[in-house]
Structure 1
């Protein structure tokens, strides 16, 4: 441990200084559940104006104005249904925001639009074929929004009285012949006489008097919405969900919207478990092992989906497939991608790579730009991402510090911006969290410049590490091994 950290630790406490690998003392905040912060959780969109011009800083993006404006044009093409049969290719150095741009395009298309990211090397599975992995990704990126208008009885349960009768099959015991359920809304009340099978569903949902429920008139399915807010107590924390008293009549027509993907439908039909409810579908998805879905099954699913769309019951929502490190695909996958792009039900395809001229994987003599065959490259709109200046690195670091709830002391932002320009943006961002841990061990709630200096002593950036490798390929870190 450096003398700087030793002084900080001794000044914070009179006890023995804390070592690097020691755990910080427990605090009151450890009882709270902490959520994982994703690398691109600060990206909310492309940050474009109404004239499709990129603001210098917008929606979590810093810089990359040309790339963002180009992606804005692509978003307009997608929304106007004029991007079919083509793909967007993002090229640029590592850490220049290619994945962030793909995620931003997905945000711009809508909240419920499916986003299916994958890496080129994922196709090399020992369980299923390479083309099957690509087909699954494409199907998971096509959403189906099912709108169904149903007759329902909805309201707060005011009465729940089962009526029993003698069991006709046995002289012992009694059975429920029917159940009386009273429902109340803002407009009025209604008493229902329901089938005993519906009473079993009520027991299964653990419904009691005071709960807000709705019962489908056609199927008899029962759904518990929550507890009526008339029963809400004065506790600060509640384990129960309170909902307001429903408006309108008890008997009404209600539009229910459900979002699924074609991949969900494929998997549910490939491994049916005998049930028709949503739990049976979820159970089939959670089953271990992977099963290849045949083209015949996919055609049957497409036929059913087309029927729903023609009836106006469902709406197809094309999503986004993002294939990072696309140069890792081989020649077979590239030819299959050509076929998938020409499919009438194809999502938006975004590819990303950091390669220049490279050998097309799976061949021995075909060298192509970005390692992609020319016939597929000709289908792509290519957008280049630029490197970041020192000022832009500082702004990105500040955004990430805000997202992660870290406080930066004077001079820290400038120091991290210098590290990002010298090494890389990712290296500067990687220093944030370890430096905050070191500051916490020293008893401070903010990061100082000395914490960044100590992190530089402990960790190397990629360029420094590469410089330590000797010409023979061995490690030269001050001495030869």
Structure 2
């Protein structure tokens, strides 16, 4: 009988045990580049060949991208672009993602594919302009005076309505707030009482009230009530520290693309019916240059006042040879604009025809005038040893156990066909091992997967000289 994951069985080969995931927690989806955390360079800018930062091999490309990151951070990369060239599956997308990670967690990263520009709803140049605007972040810093604490008292005071002899109106509301340091009693406007009712705030809730605008926000239920039982699930928060009245700095990150979309199609409200109504309407609307200029003017005003800070992000255009001559011409103009993000291209083509023309053949299918703006970095093919390290790293990320000889078998498959093919055999082999009652992937699982799923070269070998399958009609 196979041992379960809970028993302390010895770990086969050199794989680490699968990560322990709590049963109540939600496991995140493992993407193709989940293991990429950065370029993995030393402080001197050298690239160690091991799995530093999640990257295996590509030492020259990583060191070159490290220089590009330094140029971007020093704001000396404007007007230029980075072009990653190499065979499929050599880590061009991973390099672009690693550059984005090196620039910071809050830096916008907007990846698109060259074929995305061919939309029936908007122009090709509009798609490119939208991508560039989504990659420019705006960090808005605002210092507000707020009253924060646990509600200890909520008493509305009524008075006679002077306009009518019938009924009473709320003249003001008395709210008591408590923090760790002390308590305070506030006498607030009746309009704030309406906001309190709308937020469904009761005694025992932790709230904060903005002194300037009167906006009321419910943070959660005080953890002093955590032992009580309710039918509805509650979010319990600790009692706020410090004084009730304090100055709080709020930071909000948006992109210029968000501001363009919000101004191009203002919504009727924030309720669910308004949101659903906007979704039913036409899918995409073109943003005019006039509107973008107005947004830029407002953003410049915020920056001059010191309220906001522009955060240039990264636009990654994969398969850039799919763009046509019209898009390349527009990219030249976008690269020269004063608010341009960092632009990274990637392609796996050599000399090819520039799309949209009939007689212009250019390196990588990119016109020479745009190539002159690019710093070109080449990625190398992976060796058998490097393929084995990548497979081992992915097995660790996915929590898979590898038996003896599995890593060598997958490394040989990756060298013979491609790295992607070797990685694609991992998870199906784990499913097959699970069906057999094992928690470890064995060499026979890889052999059976190799019979079920063919690599590209083997599949091409099944094609006859006449273009039909061997054995076919």
Query: Could you say whether these structures have the same fold, taking a TM-score greater than 0.5 normalized by the shorter chain as the test?
Result: yes
1:48 corresponds to: 41
Q: Is the 8 A contact 1:48 1:69 kept in 2?
A: yes
Deviation at 1:233, TM superposition (A): 3.8
Alignment of 1:302-321 (within 5 A): 302-321=296-315
Q: Is the 8 A contact 1:267 1:285 kept in 2?
A: no
TM-score, scaled relative to structure 2: 0.90
Deviation at 1:349, TM superposition (A): 0.1
Q: Is the 8 A contact 1:274 1:280 kept in 2?
A: no
Paired with 2:377 and 2:271, the residues of 1 have a C-alpha distance of 41
Q: Is the 8 A contact 1:267 1:284 kept in 2?
A: no
Instruction: Name which of 324, 345, 353 aligns with 1:351.
Output: 345
Paired with 1:36 and 1:333, the residues of 2 have a C-alpha distance of 34
Deviation at 1:244, TM superposition (A): 2.7
For residues 89-128 of structure 1, what are the alpha-carbon distances to aligned partners after superposition, in whole Å with 9 as ceiling and x for unaligned? 0000111110010000000001100000000000000000
For residues 369-390 of structure 1, what are the alpha-carbon distances to aligned partners after superposition, in whole Å with 9 as ceiling and x for unaligned? 0000000001000000111111
2:395 corresponds to: 401
Q: Is the 8 A contact 1:176 1:196 kept in 2?
A: yes
Paired with 1:192 and 1:90, the residues of 2 have a C-alpha distance of 61
For residues 389-408 of structure 1, what are the alpha-carbon distances to aligned partners after superposition, in whole Å with 9 as ceiling and x for unaligned? 11111111111111111111
Paired with 1:132 and 1:243, the residues of 2 have a C-alpha distance of 45
2:360 paired with 1:363: no
Paired with 2:114 and 2:284, the residues of 1 have a C-alpha distance of 19
Deviation at 1:418, TM superposition (A): 1.0
**Secondary structure, aligned partner of 2:402:** coil
2:293 corresponds to: 299
Which of the pair has the greater relative contact order for Cα pairs under 8 Å at 6+ separation? 2
2:393 paired with 1:423: no
Unmatched runs of 5 consecutive residues or more in structure 2: 3-20
2:92 paired with 1:92: no
1:5 corresponds to: none
Q: Is the 8 A contact 2:152 2:177 kept in 1?
A: yes
Deviation at 1:273, TM superposition (A): 2.3
Paired with 1:195 and 1:417, the residues of 2 have a C-alpha distance of 71
My pick for the range that moved more, 56-65 or 195-204, is 195-204
1:145 corresponds to: 139
Alignment of 1:17-36 (within 5 A): 33-36=26-29
Instruction: Name which of 198, 221, 238 aligns with 1:204.
Output: 198
The CA RMSD measured in Å over matched residues stands at 2.5
**Secondary structure, aligned partner of 1:158:** strand
My pick for the range that moved more, 194-203 or 359-368, is 194-203
For residues 315-364 of structure 1, what are the alpha-carbon distances to aligned partners after superposition, in whole Å with 9 as ceiling and x for unaligned? 00000000000000000000000000000000000000000000000000
For residues 154-201 of structure 1, what are the alpha-carbon distances to aligned partners after superposition, in whole Å with 9 as ceiling and x for unaligned? 112111223344566776665433322111122211111222222222
Q: Is the 8 A contact 1:272 1:281 kept in 2?
A: no
Paired with 2:30 and 2:158, the residues of 1 have a C-alpha distance of 55
TM-score, scaled relative to structure 1: 0.88
Q: Is the 8 A contact 2:267 2:278 kept in 1?
A: no
Relative distance call for 1:423 and 1:320 in structure 2 (3 A) is: same
2:263 paired with 1:269: yes
Relative distance call for 1:233 and 1:181 in structure 2 (3 A) is: same
Deviation at 1:284, TM superposition (A): 9.4
Relative distance call for 1:45 and 1:429 in structure 2 (3 A) is: same
Paired with 1:108 and 1:187, the residues of 2 have a C-alpha distance of 41
Paired with 1:127 and 1:109, the residues of 2 have a C-alpha distance of 33
Relative distance call for 1:66 and 1:286 in structure 2 (3 A) is: farther
2:15 corresponds to: none
Q: Is the 8 A contact 2:268 2:274 kept in 1?
A: no
1:25 corresponds to: none
For residues 420-470 of structure 1, what are the alpha-carbon distances to aligned partners after superposition, in whole Å with 9 as ceiling and x for unaligned? 111111011111111111111111112111111111111101111112122
Paired with 2:144 and 2:90, the residues of 1 have a C-alpha distance of 49
Paired with 1:74 and 1:43, the residues of 2 have a C-alpha distance of 18
Relative distance call for 1:441 and 1:110 in structure 2 (3 A) is: same
Paired with 2:273 and 2:248, the residues of 1 have a C-alpha distance of 24
Unmatched runs of 5 consecutive residues or more in structure 1: 1-7, 10-27
2:240 corresponds to: 246
2:7 paired with 1:39: no
2:212 paired with 1:218: yes
Relative distance call for 1:416 and 1:109 in structure 2 (3 A) is: same
Alignment of 1:167-246 (within 5 A): 174-233=168-227, 239-246=233-240
For residues 266-324 of structure 1, what are the alpha-carbon distances to aligned partners after superposition, in whole Å with 9 as ceiling and x for unaligned? 0000011255x899998898665100000000000000000000000000000000000
